[in-house]
Amino acid sequence: MSTAIDLAEVSLRQLNQVLHDADSGGFDVLNPRGAHAVACGITTDLTVEVAGSVGYYCAGMHQAGTVVVNGNSGPGLAENIMSGTVRTTGNASMSAAATGCGGLVVIDGDAGARCGISMKGVDIVVGGSIGHMGAFMAQAGNLVVLGDAGADLGDSIYEAILYVRGEVESLGSDCVEKEMRPENLAAVGHLLEAADMTASPADFRRYGSERRLYSFHVDDIDTELAEGPGGTR
């Protein structure tokens, strides 16, 4: 049994306070009408369903539970997500899952520019295509794209791993295609399952850092020595 909260009746602040005060349960958010910061900062195991499209920063700083937007999401969906799951059934605007440190962000439609910018451990699965400069300066985590990727994918990337099934318009600086190893196939399979999407992992290509733009920490010296600069890890 879910509790309905109508944004035509209550303020955004009231909605988010109710969600922050709850320890568990399901909530249906009605009439979002493009509002900003819907269901931000959830720290308990809630299930929040949003009936319609949202504006900026929906489910920002998400930590636990699940937020599903049944519609499109504006810029900064699940920005800085730490853990838990955020899904939008439509498209997401620019900077989806930006700086995300963990958890899973699923976009059933397309994502705009700079999807996964500076991602730091989040897993992102996009059913459609992503815009330009996806995974810009991405540091850790996985980005799985079932469609195409726009220009300059993975520009200045660190150690995140990018999987794209369709065409990549162009790769950004220091981003290269890498071999799909058995563990990569397994990882894609696992992420597709988690995102409830169907595709063959063998159809994806892997992209990652050539490691020529940044200096390694001394802890990585073994990799450097074993594989040389631009190792294939």
Partner 1 sequence: MCGIVGLFLKTPTHRGELGRLTADMIHEVRDRGRDSAGVATFGSGNDATTRITVLADGPRPDWDETATALEEVLSAEVLVRPLHDHAVFETTGDGRAARRWLIDNMVDIEVLSYGSQIELYKSVGDPDLLATRYGLAARTGTHAVAHTRMATESAVTANGSHPFSTGSDTCLVHNGSLSNHNQLRLRLEQQGESFQTLNDSEVAAGYVSWRLGSGDSLAQALQRALTDLDGFYTLAIGTVDGFAILRDPISCKPAVVAETDDWVAMSSEYRAIARLPGVVDAEVWEPEPARVYTWSLAA
Residue numbers at the binding site for partner 1 (CB under 8 A): 33-36, 52-53, 55-56, 72, 74-75, 90-91, 93-94, 112-113, 131-132
Element (H, E) at 192: helix 182-194
Q: How far is the CB of 72 from partner 1 (least distance, A)?
A: 6
Q: Is the dihedral of CA 10, 11, 14, 19 positive or negative?
A: positive
Residue closer to partner 1 (CB basis): 75 or 154: 75
Q: How far is the CB of 74 from partner 1 (least distance, A)?
A: 6
Residue closer to partner 1 (CB basis): 52 or 103: 52
Nearest partner of 188 among 97, 125, 113, 102, judged by Cα: 125
The answer for residues whose C-beta is within 8 angstroms of residue 78's C-beta and 6 or more apart is 58, 59, 60, 62, 67, 86, 96, 97, 100, 103, 105, 122
Residue closer to partner 1 (CB basis): 75 or 201: 75
Residue closer to partner 1 (CB basis): 7 or 161: 7
- Measured CA to CA, the distance from residue 5 to residue 28 in angstroms comes to 6
- Measured CA to CA, the distance from residue 178 to residue 161 in angstroms comes to 10
Q: How far is the CB of 170 from partner 1 (least distance, A)?
A: 13
Paired tokens of 64? 């636990």
Q: How far is the CB of 156 from partner 1 (least distance, A)?
A: 15
Q: How far is the CB of 103 from partner 1 (least distance, A)?
A: 24
Backbone dihedral angles phi then psi of residue 182, each to the nearest 5 degrees: -55, -40
Residue closer to partner 1 (CB basis): 62 or 132: 132
